[in-house]
């Protein structure tokens, strides 16, 4: 049959084209998720597992944040052994919401978030 090696349910993804603006904005209007997106943008694709982020929340909340980012078409996930590795959907998301990712990724003038 399929050449699937994992017996685990694949994570549900939403393509950026199916994401309303409101959902995209709401997904990015959170300091933890902004940090995740930024760190993800500074790393090669598929190089970061969910647990490998320096974020001040427990792993339950972290899992929830990744679900939100997936639902907003911002990240794609793939199972790699026991880990789940991530990729920022730069091109696709930027095609749907031009300039939005750039706003989040650029450094802040003063400092803050």
Partner DNA sequence: CCGAGTGTTCGATGAAAACCATACACTCCC
Partner DNA sequence: GGGAGTGTATGGTTTTCATCGAACACTCGG
Neighbouring CB atoms inside 10 A of 33's CB total 21
99 lies in the site for DNA, by CB under 7 A: no
Contact region for a second copy (CB under 8 A) — 13-21, 49-57, 60-68, 79-87?
13-21
* CB closer to DNA out of 75 and 101: 75
Binding to DNA, residues 36-95 (CB under 7 A):
49-52, 56-68, 77, 79, 81-84
d(CA 21, CA 45): 25
Q: Which residues contact 102 (CB under 8 A, 6 or more apart)?
A: 94
Min. distance of Cβ 45 from a second copy in angstroms? Answer: 24
56 lies in the site for a second copy, by CB under 8 A: no
């Amino acid at each position: 049959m399929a050449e699937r090696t994992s017996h685990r349910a694949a994570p549900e993804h939403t393509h950026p084209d199916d994401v309303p603006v409101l959902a995209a904005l709401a997904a990015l209007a959170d300091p933890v998720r902004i940090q995740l997106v930024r760190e993800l943008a500074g790393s090669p694709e598929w190089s970061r597992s969910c647990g490998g982020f320096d974020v001040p929340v427990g792993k339950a909340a972290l899992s929830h944040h990744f679900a939100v980012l997936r639902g907003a078409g911002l990240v794609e996930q793939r199972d790699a052994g026991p880990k789940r590795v991530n990729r920022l959907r730069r091109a696709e998301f930027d095609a749907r919401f031009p300039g939005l990712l750039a706003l989040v990724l650029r450094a802040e003038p003063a400092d803050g978030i």
